[in-house]
Amino acid sequence: MASKKSTKRTFKGLSYCEVQSANSKNRSKLHQEDRQWLKDNGYRNVGWDNIINLYQKVEEISDKYKFEDLTLEELFIEADRIGNKYLTIQEREEFNQKLAQEVNEIAQEIDKQFPDTEIEVIDFSDKINNSSRKKRNQKSYRTVKF
């Protein structure tokens, strides 16, 4: 009689010991409250079904941590990226057109409220009042505001 070789069981390409090790390492990165919650809710690192459930739950909890470290700007960019997944190309183009139009209107209003009345002229002539400042191979200029 030929004996059957049992095939090794794996989860996401990891053996039992590798999944256990990954669980331990990833669980240690969690906040104490979350580790206690896992313990209280029966998530254990022993037995195939238990280690798979623990692996998935730790992954889920870790995903919420990645948003804690983001700045406000990065959060808006991430929200925009997620929102764009649900829009068609045409809808995105329409939105970008409307946004550009609004930005232009705001810029025009700012120009009305704060006109730039100061004119700046740069004089690149060779005449300089203080000759001690002029060095060889050095260009000089002065700025005059009106």
Q: How many CB atoms lie within 10 A of CB 51?
A: 21
Tokens in use for 54? 């623990």
Helical (H) or strand (E) element with 123? strand 120-123
Q: How many CB atoms lie within 10 A of CB 35?
A: 16
Summary mean pLDDT of the chain: 82
Mean pLDDT, residues 85-103 taken together: 92
Tokens in use for 10? 């794996």
Mean pLDDT, residues 81-105 taken together: 91
Specify the 3-state DSSP secondary structure of 124: coil
Q: What pLDDT is recorded for position 37?
A: 92
**Would you give the end-to-end CA distance of the chain in angstroms?**
104
Question: Where do the domains of the chain lie?
Answer: 16-65, 72-113
Residues listed for the chain: 146
pLDDT in tens, 4-25: 666 788 888 888 899 999 999 9
